[in-house]
Amino acid sequence: MKTTVDLPDALAAEAREIARAQGTTLRELVIDGLHTAVESRKSHGATHPFSFVTVSGHGLVPGVEPSIWTELGYGLPS
């Protein structure tokens, strides 16, 4: 089936560059991406699931004060 899709210029250029570097076509890259999006939405709903990534540990490193978060622009952790 032929169809027309309007893509942002920067995205289209980046996709063409990736396709060229990987020895494939823009068409194949779009088909692969569309397959991935369709399968993801069928199994997870309309949006991607969100989960926090955590690591094991014992909190902040000794000597690091919670106020460092505000200095980094994040606000205090809750």
Residue 47 phi, psi (nearest 5): -125, 165
Q: In the chain, what are the domain boundaries?
A: 1-48
Residue 70: pLDDT band by 50, 70, 90 thresholds?
confident
pLDDT 10s digits, 11-68: 999 999 999 999 999 999 999 999 998 888 887 666 656 677 777 776 667 777 767 7
Categorise residue 63: left if φ over 0, alpha if ψ from -120 to 50, beta otherwise.
left
Segments in the chain forming alpha helices (H): 9-21, 26-44, 68-71
Greater confidence (51 vs 5) lies with 5
Residues 76 and 70 sit within 8 Å (Cβ to Cβ): yes
Q: What is the pLDDT of residue 26?
A: 94
